[in-house]
Amino acid sequence: SVEDVPPSNLTTDQLLDGLLTAEFGSRSCRSRYEFASYHDKKKKKKHTSHKPSPYLLAKLRSHEALQKQCGPGTAPYRAAIRQLKSGNGIVTSDSENCRYLVPISYRGLGNRMLSTVSAFLYAVLTERTLLVQHDMAALFCEPFPRTTWLLPSSGWLGGGFPLGHLKKYGKDSKESLGNMLKANVLSVGDNGNASWSDSDRPPYVYLHLDGGYGFYDKLFYCDEQQRLIRGAPWLLMRTDSYLVPGLFLIPSFRDELERMFPEKDVAFHHLGRYLFHPANDVWRAVTRYYDAHLAGAGQRVGIQIRVFTQNKPLQKVLDQVLSCVRREKLLLPSIQTNNASVLVTSLSSWYYERIKAEYGGSRVHQPSHEGWQKMRDASQDRKALSEMYLLSTCDVLVTTGFSTFGYVAQGLGGILPWIMPATPFWSTETGVVPDPPCMRAMSVEPCFHSPSNYGCAARKDVDVGTLVPYIRHCEDASWGIKIA
Ligand code: GDP
């Protein structure tokens, strides 16, 4: 067969204004250079004119070089694995050595995509090689040229990852930053360098950044503790959240982040489009569905309905959707057909049937109705991914508050959604549709649902929605923060 060589005539549009390199072949991963033709050109310029900064592009290029230099199969990688197996030596100032970050993946696909972007940005900031778990392989193409971002499995001859099942790490793990700080194993010396008060130093640190994390775990968001873990050859990171607003709140990262993102509220838009490229079978499903149902429309309206606690359909949620669409005049009633196509995504088909009855059968579409959320189901992951990408091609988006599925769609598409607040999680059938039923998002950024409220400088809890002007509390989760 013919080698999959990079196309020679890629345009700036196809390369997403330089976010992507032209080093990849296109047959093995069609989505990479085709994404733009389903997004930018058709989209109102207003939301997609954001160009990545030259500084961000430079950082991405040097990070690609790092991934290639340190990735699986290289001598530094083998050396780092050997050190991990030997079980000693944590802090190293030797700049020759490569350092690694392994995000531990759990929860639904939207959550996993947000945490992967967060880990990636943290890896760029701290010059670590990002290695992800294998569930990503079936869904996404490789983001970095001439290397792999997949963590070699433990059985792999020679260079296998020795820590085994990453699921075992949790808040009680003694290797966690929080528990080591609590046990005083880890402290910062007068010179600001990390030191260990114990002789047996683990070769890795586990970062427990899960929603239910404790005081000591939250010190991850302080400069002092960042200095401490800087030299650790391996970091494991457990989170299901979009940590980026939290990274902006760490003073030693802020200057760098502000240079990378002069327009701060498109961080996910850039990083998500850089990192994620659906694998060919997923992309085929996206483009086929798009061509069949959405391509001809003058306007595409995406409605994403995610109900968290109930599997049975809720009339109240339907009322809220219809009330939002009517109030904001997002669609004309069926008799006055305008040239719009409606894409409904939901685990249930009930909402779709009702919306179809209201707005006319031929222009309302739902790609799948899976019934319930299945954990770690490859087929459902692929459907979910293709639906997030289909939603991201829309011109208008109505989303369910608190859903990371919706965050990914709006972020990839650069679309300011109409968010329907979930009050609280629609847990009961009683109660009324909120007034207003939906509101325009402040920005296309995802909400960080579990920020640390600890003010490192103040040494007490603070209101993290007021520390910098561009980080505010979220529309759909008052305790969360987002860049806006
Ligand atoms: P969140 O729970 O809404 O924050 O989003 P996640 O993506 O993290 O988890 C929800 C999971 O449920 C998805 O990954 C899918 O597997 C499934 N799911 C939820 N809503 C839909 C939908 O509209 N379509 C499909 N295909 N799957 C969905």
AA letter at 329: K
8 Å CB contact between 56 and 260: yes
In a domain, 468, yes or no: no
**Per-residue model confidence as pLDDT tens digits over 346-365:** 999 999 999 999 987 789 99
What's 299's domain CATH number? 3.40.50.11350
Q: Locate the ligand 1 atom nearest the alpha carbon of residue 407 and give its number.
A: 4
**β-strand partners of 187:** 195
Q: Ligand 1 test: best mutation among 304, 311, 346, 373, most atoms within 8 Å of CB?
A: 373
What spacing in Å lies between the alpha carbon of 399 and ligand 1's midpoint?
Answer: 12
Pocket of ligand 1 from Cβ distances under 6 Å:
107-111, 306, 345-347, 368, 370, 373, 380, 383-384, 387, 403-405
Domain contains 459: no
8 A C-beta contact, residue 114 and residue 404: yes
Complex ipTM: 0.99
The tens digit of pLDDT for each residue in 294-323 reads 999 989 999 999 988 767 888 889 999 999
Pull the structure tokens for residue 218: 């939250």
Domain housing 433:
280-446
Could you tell me the distance, in angstroms and rounded to a whole number, from the CA of residue 30 to the centre of ligand 1? 24
Protein residue whose Cα sits closest to atom 25 of ligand 1: 384
Q: Is 145 found in the same domain as 205?
A: yes
Whether 173 and 53 share a structural domain = yes
Give the pLDDT band of residue 193 (cuts 50, 70, 90). low
Average pLDDT over residues 171-196: 77
Say how far residue 106 (Cα) sits from the centre of its chain. Answer: 13
Q: Token pair for residue 91? A: 């802090």
475 C-beta neighbours (distance < 10 Å), count:
20
**Nearest protein Cα to ligand 1, atom 12:** 373
**Extended strands (E) in 290-437:** 299-305, 340-346, 364-365, 396-400, 418-420
Q: Any idea which residue has 């009324």 for tokens?
A: 432
* Cα dihedral across residues 133, 481, 99, 73: positive or negative: positive
Q: Taking 60 as the threshold, does the pLDDT of residue 47 lie above it?
A: no
Q: Residue 108: name the closest of 129, 130, 139, 131 by CA.
A: 139
What is the amino acid identity at position 274? Y
Residue 189 and residue 59 share a domain: yes
Q: What is the rounded distance in angstroms from the CA atom of residue 123 to the CA atom of residue 69?
A: 14
Domain closes at, from 231, 263, 295: 263
Verify that 96 and 153 share a domain, yes or no: yes
Q: Do 93 and 125 belong to one domain?
A: yes
Question: Tokens 């002007």, residue?
Answer: 469
> How far away, in angstroms, is 391 Cα from ligand 1 center?
13
Between the CA of 368 and the centroid of ligand 1 the distance, in Å, is: 11
What does the alpha-carbon distance between residue 35 and residue 287 come to, in Å, rounded to a whole number? 10
**Domain-embedded: residue 33:** no
CA proximity to 295, closest of 383, 363, 356: 363
Backbone φ and ψ for 183, nearest 5 degrees, come out as: -85, 5
Nearest protein CA to atom 23 of ligand 1, as residue: 346
Q: Residue 329 pLDDT > 80, yes or no?
A: yes
The SS3 assignment for 271 reads helix
Helix (H) or strand (E) holding 100: strand 100-104
Which residues lie closer than 8 Å to 415 by C-beta, 6 or more apart?
A: 47, 392, 394, 395, 396, 397, 409, 444
Residues 303 and 205 in one domain: no
Same domain, 232 and 328: no
Exposed, middle or buried: residue 373 (CB in 10 Å: 0-12, 13-18, 19+)? Answer: middle
Other CB atoms within 10 Å distance of the CB of residue 285: 20
Same domain, 252 and 115: yes
- Picking from 425, 477, 409, 410, the residue whose alpha carbon sits closest to that of residue 447 is 477
Residue 45 pairs in a beta bridge with none
Residue 461 lies in a domain: no
Mean pLDDT confidence for 124-128:
98
Tell the residue nearest (CA) to atom 9 of ligand 1. 108
Per-residue pLDDT tens digits for 92-117 = 545 468 999 999 989 999 999 999 99
pLDDT over threshold 50, residue 156: no
CA distances from 361 to 133, 140, 353 (A): 42, 34, 9
Residue 95: its pLDDT value, please? 44
Q: Are residues 258 and 215 in the same domain?
A: yes
Q: Given ligand 1 and candidates 113, 118, 135, 306, which is best to mutate, with the most ligand atoms within 8 Å of its CB?
A: 306
Tens digit of each residue's pLDDT (9 = 90 or more) over 403-462: 999 999 999 999 999 999 876 555 555 667 888 999 999 999 999 999 999 999 999 999
Which of 263, 298, 314 finishes a domain? 263
